[in-house]
Chains A and B, each alone.
Chain A
């Protein structure tokens, strides 16, 4: 005997989860990535071999700081969605899959927090 009703034990086990939303956000971030990655490449090329002060000076411009922040958020969001698909395709053990999916989310969150902190710190001239 189990505490759970027969219906309760099967609910949520179907394949219909949040696939549409996932697929759609992968496209939204892909489209956002196109101009933002272009800007990001431009930012890097403009600071090759430059001293730290030059990077900080560029980020003092709010437009540059905001675009760079948007670029990082869009890329990392897209990255998390993409890696999730790769994990779901190749990792079939329930525990290993859950562990990797958690790691994937934390990876994106930690990188995002670190890079946004760095951008804001420089932008505010701290």
Chain B
């Protein structure tokens, strides 16, 4: 089975056009899925790399409407599923239902909203069912057993597993403490994407057999930032990093 990568990028970063170019590069490099983050002013589950990128994106004029337009464009142009990641307040402020509908209309394959957990979700999970948009629970290896059972019981299409007890951006070690959870989820019908701190091809190789797709985030943002600041094309940088990770 070939390795599937979910590659994360931020709408409007480094600028609107370059985020589209980034998405193109990620697809060309061989990513199987995209995860587009709509920037939020207070992304408390993200580390400094992504937070900074979100701030710059907003300063450069990115809005939710522009992000959704970008998603629609990517969805139409690239033959690749795109998940939408953001924070609860972006949905809540715009109206839960209209935002889920708009995400669906823009072609989102699923919604990743880490601070709206099942049971404290402002109706997100019910709306996902009603409008047929998968909502991805985000869990970590520290999750209590009963809670894990509850989430598995939802029979979501995907579960998003953050591999360590922290925030995005620093290197994660892969061992029994996190791979154990993945092996527990493996037999289920629910598919699992796993990430947080994945930066090297070697990690991708270790992780891939334990899940359905490996999520890469900060490493891409870092590569794109570096290229952009040197006047290089975001598209090439994005393509190269995925190619490297798949080596």
Q: Do A and B actually bind?
A: no
Residues of A within 8 A of B (CB): none
